[in-house]
Amino acid sequence: MDGAQANGFDFGAGALCLDFVNTVDWRHDAARRRDGLGSYGALVEWGRQAGLLPDGLVRSLRRRAAEEEQAAAAALGEAVALRDAVYRIFAAVIRGGEPAAADLARLNRALDRGLRHLRVVPAAGGFAWRWEQPEGDLLPMLWPVARSAADLLVSGDLDRVRECDGDPCGWLFLDRSRNRSRRWCDMSGCGNRAKARRHYQRRRGRAEAGA
């Protein structure tokens, strides 16, 4: 699916952690693979578009990244490593296997780093969760991502996580269809390409049979 490009991100996977995984287009095709997180600035923009970073924090992170380029590059590396670990964890579950211990450890480290910033605060009619504003942390957008991945792994929806059948897409999504039969990340993209491929193969088969 061609969604994670030109900093226009897709948020239709059904879970925040899966949206984060889907910042890679054509994961399984080295020639066409495109990484939507090609810079720390792109990571901040993803967090902004996801609604995780208020405007003031976006400006602060961008300013710090300009002043501390090495730290920003290291933070981006951590974010990409977490994203790929989350992909491998869910891909293993989808295929009936066990996630690698190293990938679960990375997720748990990110979860620990984030949960220490989660607070219960008064809200209209009661209370709500809120992430506190970070001091010196370049990766606040990862805190809710890690929590989303952990929540999904222990939820009753885990068996609804799918990987797009449009090889080599590699996007993940939650299958909310009534009969759990969804196969594509997006019917207008990978789904239509698959239909076009099948149509071509049928026509070619008929042509060869009539030759």
Cα angle 26-199-173, degrees, rounded to a multiple of 5? 35
For strands 118-123 and 126-131, give the pairing: antiparallel
CB 188 within 8 A of CB 3: no
Residues of the chain with pLDDT below 50 are 2-5, 191, 193-207
pLDDT tens readout for residues 115-151: 999 999 999 999 999 999 888 899 999 999 999 999 9
Q: How far apart are the C-alpha atoms of 61 and 51, rounded to whole Å?
A: 15
Angstrom CA distances, 188 to 108, 128, 175, 193, 197, stand at: 36, 37, 16, 8, 14
> What pTM value is reported for the model?
0.86
